[in-house]
Structure 1
Amino acid sequence: MISLVEVNEANWREVTELKVSDEQTVHIESNAQSLLEAAYDTSLDWHPYGIYSENNLIGFAMIGAYNSEEKYIWLDRLMLSHDVQGKGLGTDVMRVIIEYISNNWNVSEIVLSVTPDNHAAIGFYKKVGFQWLDKTDPANGEQLMSMKI
């Protein structure tokens, strides 16, 4: 059973200790950096979550930058700890995230960005239904993908 739990005083340290593989660190910010962004980049109203399987912390997600007029929201971060990758959890995690977003925000689209050379993430996002947008994130040069929900 996969669940999302808001990052809080009780779990933030454990969340910051989660790591991707060494090869993946060039593709995603650390969870500590993401939590700082959530705390201080308040204009985008980021919501950081620990991803749990049963009672075990297995990953991290950050959702925000909700656009109520155009009805989309960003899945700005998604990571699974290196020790649980490749075990088939990603699809279940994404299903839970999509359901959570649908239940908590009035959106018809989820947007994310990905580095063009992150082939594993691109393959995963395509597999779960994301498609390329003909846009690049001006903040970091990453390619944008979206999923209609």
Structure 2
Amino acid sequence: MISLVKVSEANWREVTELKVSDEQTVHIESNAQSLLEAAYDTSLDWHPYGIYSGDDLVGFAMIGAYNLEERYIWLDRLMLSYDVQGEGLGTEVMRVIVEYISENWDVSEIVLSVTPDNHVAIGFYEKVGFQWLDKTDPANGEQLMSMKI
């Protein structure tokens, strides 16, 4: 069973120890950097979560930059630890994230950005229902995708 647990004093160290494969590090910030962003970039109201499969921490997600007027929110980070990738958890993780967002924010769209050469992530996001937006994030050059919910 997949669940999202807020990152807290109890689990932040374990969250920062999660790693993607060496090849994937060019595509995503470390969880430690994401937690710093959540703590200090308060204008975007980031919400960091550990992703658990039962009692085991298997990943990390960060949600925020909620836009009430346009009814969208960012899925700014999503990672599964390298040692559980390929086990079929991704689709269930995304289902849980979408359900959680729907229950906690009044949104009709989830937005994310992806590096154009991250073909594995792009394939996954397309598989679970994200579509390309004709936009690029000016902060980092990543391409934007969205999912209507």
Distance 1:103 1:125 in 2: 21
Partner of 1:44: 44
Correspondence list, 1:84-103, <5 A: 84-103=84-103
Tell me which residue corresponds to 1:72: 72
Structure 2 counterpart of 1:31, one-letter code: N
- Residue aligning to 1:136: 136
Structure 1's unaligned 5+ residue stretches are: none
- Look up the match of 1:22: 22
Percent identity, please: 89
Q: Deviations over 1:16-43 (max 9, x none)?
A: 0000000000000000000000000000
Instruction: Could you tell me which runs of 5 or more consecutive residues in structure 2 were left unpaired when the two chains were aligned.
Output: none
The Cα offsets for residues 101-126 of structure 1, whole Å up to 9 and x where unpaired, read as 00000000000000000000000000
**Other-structure match for 1:120:** 120
Q: Any idea what the Cα deviations from partners look like across 1:53-109, whole Å, max 9, x if unmatched?
A: 000000000000000000000000000000000000000000000000000000000
Tell me the distance in 1 between the aligned counterparts of 2:125 and 2:4. Answer: 19
**What is the SS of the residue equivalent to 1:19?**
coil
Which residue number in structure 2 is paired with residue 2 of structure 1? Answer: 2
Partner of 1:148: 148
Please give the TM-score of this superposition, normalised by the length of structure 2: 1.00
Runs of 4+ aligned structure 1 residues displaced above 4 Å come to none
Over the aligned positions, Cα root-mean-square deviation in angstroms equals 0.1
Aligned residues: 149
Whole-Å separation in 2 of the counterparts to 1:29 and 1:90: 19
For residues 48 and 4 of structure 1, the distance between their equivalents in structure 2, rounded to whole angstroms, comes to 9
Structure 2 residue matching 1:98: 3-state secondary structure: helix
- Cα distance in 1 for residues equivalent to 2:140 and 2:37: 15
